[in-house]
Structures are given as structure tokens and as C-alpha cells.
Amino acid sequence: MYIGRFAPSPSGRLHFGSLLAALASYLDARSNHGQWLLRIDDIDPPREAQGATLAIIETLQAFGLQWDGEIVYQSQRSAIYQQALDQLKKNALTYPCCCSRKEILKRTGSIIYDNYCWSHPPSKTDNIVWRFKNNSRTLSWSDTILGHQSLDKSQSIDFILKRRDSLWAYQLAVTVDDAAMGINHVVRGCDLLSEASKQLLLIQALNLPKVTFSHIPVVVNSLGQKLSKQNLAPAITTNRIGYQLYSALVMLGQNPHPSLRNADKSDILLQSIANWDPAAIPLKYSTSHRN
């Protein structure tokens, strides 16, 4: 069975780009008679915006994007991330590293880590990170939208699994959770494309079931910048929901019937599930999003 998900981080409210990702993953799951789960990726408390989690949940409900089952919160799942790290330790696929950015730069002349601590284990046990021992210098896979993908140099380094502040790295938490939740299809923005290779490396290392990835284009504003919480993309409002859904479908190349422009959200969603055509998703949106 197809199991998909939407997994926003509560570092801010949903913007139009997040609506596209939510809608595309929802429609892909529903048109495959699958489940669509909601997970709040709240593993980074310092970057969390107050009230964002509730706002995200309320916005999804307002748009009629109803998920299946209980909401999963990453902040409550540290124990299973630790289990995964322990499993990697047992298989010599992770090691502690004490190098600061400055030390790496001094040694290598760049910020790309040189796997130094694998051959020079640190003597201290505090103030360290845990890195993935990346034995696969090659990996290729196929994205359903973007086609053939392979590791680039920055992805083949021994990346961090657990941070100096004891917070979990995105790739580890997401890989472990997707497997635990039975998720086998991930539809999300291509700003996360470079994470997919790392997730696939961890899937191999932890012997977890395969996941199919579909990365949709990111939305840019009229200045050509990616809409993001960092550049203060405006939160979507819950006014004119039908029109916003219609606009999102146009962006996703779905060619919605003009009569849907003023339709009720449930009619729009039902029609869009019936007519969903992932092959029509463009590699790049033809217009910028007007804020």
C-alpha cells in the first residue's frame, strides 16, 4: 500500500511553497488509494517558531488536507533515533568527531570534512558529534520527477548524525521515522533533494525498506528567491482557499478546469485526486509567485 506523508518543521507557518508540497503529496497518496500521514519535524527547538505547530495543523485542516491517523512528533522519538545510532555503532558505521569548523578549514582548506576522526579517534567523550561512516562513494537512484540522480562530492562526506548539542540530524530522524511509519513515497520540495541521497545511504546502512522520492520544484518570489521561512515568505492565509488551491494546481501543471476557480475546497480536492497527473508536474514553475 502507498503510504505518503507531509512532514513540515515548525520553524514557521506554511507558505505557498509548503502548500504546494502538502497538496502534491496529498494528491499523490490519495490518487494511489494510499494513506497520507502528518509528522511534525520538531527536532530543532532553537529554530522553532512559537505557535507554528498549531498554525500548520489548522492551516492544513482549513484547506481540507486531512491526514490519516495520529500526528507524529519527532520531539517525542529520541529513543528510536538513539537505537538507530546504536545499531550503526555496532556495525562500525558511525564514529565520534571532535573537529571544529575552524580545524577542518585549517587542515583541508575547505569546509568539506576529511573524515579525520575515523583514523584519529578523539580522546574526549563530550562536545563531540557522531558522523556516518560513509563507505559508499557512489550511489545512484531515480527521482520520479527529476530522473537519474547520483551522489555529489558534498554528499559523499561522513555527514553528521547527532550534533554537538545532542540534537539529532535531519537525515537520521527522517530516515528512521519514515521507516517506522511505513512511509514508502516521499513527495516534497527539491530544496531537500540533496538530503535524499543521504537518506538512501542510511536506508542501506540500517537495512530499511526502500522509499520512492519525488521532488517538486521550489517556488520563487518575484526576485527569484526561493520562498522560505528564512527569507520571510508570507504565511498562507485561510482566505479564498478555493482560489489558492486552484493556483497551486496550476503551478503543479494540473490544468484544473476553470470552473474550479470558485469551487468549494472539497470539490476541488475530489476532482484533483481523480485527475492527478504527476507526469505533468513541471521541472520548473513557469511563473513566480506573487506575494
Q: List residues near Zn ion by CB under 5 A.
A: 97, 99, 116-117
Q: Which is nearer to Zn ion, 116 or 141 (CB)?
A: 116
Which of residues 127 and 262 has its CB atom nearest to Zn ion in the complex?
Answer: 127
CB nearer to Zn ion: pick between 29 and 99: 99
The CB-of-122 to Zn ion minimum distance in angstroms stands at 7
Q: Select 100 or 194, whichever has its Cβ closest to Zn ion.
A: 100
How many angstroms separate the CA atoms of 242 and 234, rounded? 18
User: Residue 76: how many CB atoms within 10 A of its CB?
Assistant: 10
Instruction: Give 119 or 207: the residue with its C-beta nearer to Zn ion.
Output: 119
Closest distance to Zn ion from the beta carbon of 106 (Å): 12
Q: Using CA atoms, how far apart are residues 245 and 264, in angstroms rounded to an integer? A: 10
Length of the chain as a residue count: 291
- In one letter, which amino acid is 258? P
Q: How far is the CB of 214 from Zn ion (least distance, A)?
A: 35
Q: Which is nearer to Zn ion, 73 or 118 (CB)?
A: 118
| Contact in structure between 199 and 171 (CB atoms under 8 Å) | yes
**147-156 LR contacts (CB < 8 Å, sep 24+):** 149/193, 149/196, 149/197, 150/197, 151/197, 152/194, 153/112, 154/112, 154/194, 155/194, 155/197, 155/198
What's the distance, CA 163 to chain centroid?
19
Residue (of 60, 1, 8) closest to 191 by Cα position: 8
